[in-house]
Every structure is written in structure tokens, then in C-alpha cells.
Amino acid sequence: MICVESPRVSAEQIIFLLIVAVTLMLFIGERIRIDVAAFLTPIGHHGNLLILNPGQYTFGDFLRVGIPLTICISVVSVWMAQWLWLGGPLIPDWSALGVAIKGVFT
């Protein structure tokens, strides 16, 4: 039997890391929620209301631009959280996703 020594981690360190993890995920989730409200509707941000009438924009114009922008912000936020905090890869390994999808459908 091979025994590999692992570094000792105290309970305080584990609790601190859990608190940091939860705080970071709540912050990112709240940021995405704020961005969704700001991009999707003219009443989401006061700047949107200022340009609504002079630009002759409609509610649908905000949705047309806001939906792709919201998706982009969400994907980038999740990727940045994985890359910065979890030490994930800078460029995702899409081949692993393909293998996982093949395993589901076979």
C-alpha cells in the first residue's frame, strides 16, 4: 500500500475558503442579474430611459440587443469565475464536452 502525505488543512482554512467561494458566486450571480435588468428593458437603467424617446427606440429594440448581450455577459462571467477563482483552463476543452454528449446519447 502506498501512502502519500497530504498537506494538513485546518478547519478554519476550509471554512474561510467556503465563505470566499459562496461570496464570490453570490457576487457574480448578482452582477448577472443587474446586467439582465439593465440590458433587456428601457427601465432597467436610467441611461436607457434618457435615450428612449430621442432615439425613437421601442421596447423590442432593447430586447433585440439585450438578449445576445446578456447571454454573452453570462458566459464570460462564468468563464472568468472558473478561470480566476477555480484555476480552470484559459481556453475550455471542448473535446471533453463532445465525449460527454456522445456518452449520453449512446
Residue 22 lies in a domain: yes
Is the separation of the CB atoms in 39 and 62 below 8 Å?
yes
Number of domains in the chain: 1
Provide the pLDDT for residue 56: 93
Which one has a higher pLDDT value, 8 or 59? 59
Residue 7 lies in a domain: no
> Per-residue pLDDT tens for 50-104?
988 999 999 899 889 888 888 887 788 777 777 776 666 666 666 665 655 555 5
Its pTM surpasses 0.75? no
Residue 48 lies in a domain: yes
Domain boundaries, position 84: 18-105
The answer, yes or no, to whether residue 21 has pLDDT greater than 80, is: no
Residue 8 lies in a domain: no
